[in-house]
Amino acid sequence: MPPSNRHNVTVEWGDCDPAGIVYYPAYFRWCDQATGRLLQALGIVRDPLVDGQWKEGTPLVKAECSFRRPSQPGEVLTIESSIARVGRSSFEIAHLFRDATGAVAAEGRETRIYARKDGDARSLKAVAIPPEMRRRLGA
């Protein structure tokens, strides 16, 4: 079974558009937060800063989300996040958003790379995921 984590989020008024349903960027924010919680639960320090600059970390290179049904203010969604794939220098995280009945409200997916940089953002390069991190990701 792949490493996973679960937590709840309450849909707030500010997460919604004028129609009263979750505005799509909220799902991407929740996916990012869920990734942080999953990595933390796995004991992976996320994007450490050295001298005020990050030198290596796990930047997002692809994000997608499918919306299965509208969610509204006051609803509690359970986000189930799991490592879906681990490659040489990248990994994917799957996110399922379930309502109180267990029905899927949305499905998200992120692809992140393990990267290093020396200087500005243009120096960013994907590198092999370190062995200890690979182990924690379930590879």
Residue 18: which residues within 8 A CB-CB, separation 6 or more? none
CA–CA–CA angle 30, 135, 58 (5° rounding): 40
Q: Are 59 and 39 in contact (CB under 8 A)?
A: no
- Per the annotation, the verdict on 17 as an active-site residue is yes
- Separation of alpha carbons 124 and 138, rounded Å: 25
Two structure tokens written together for 104: 């899927």
Catalytic residue among 17, 32, 118, 120: 17
Which residues are tagged catalytic? 17
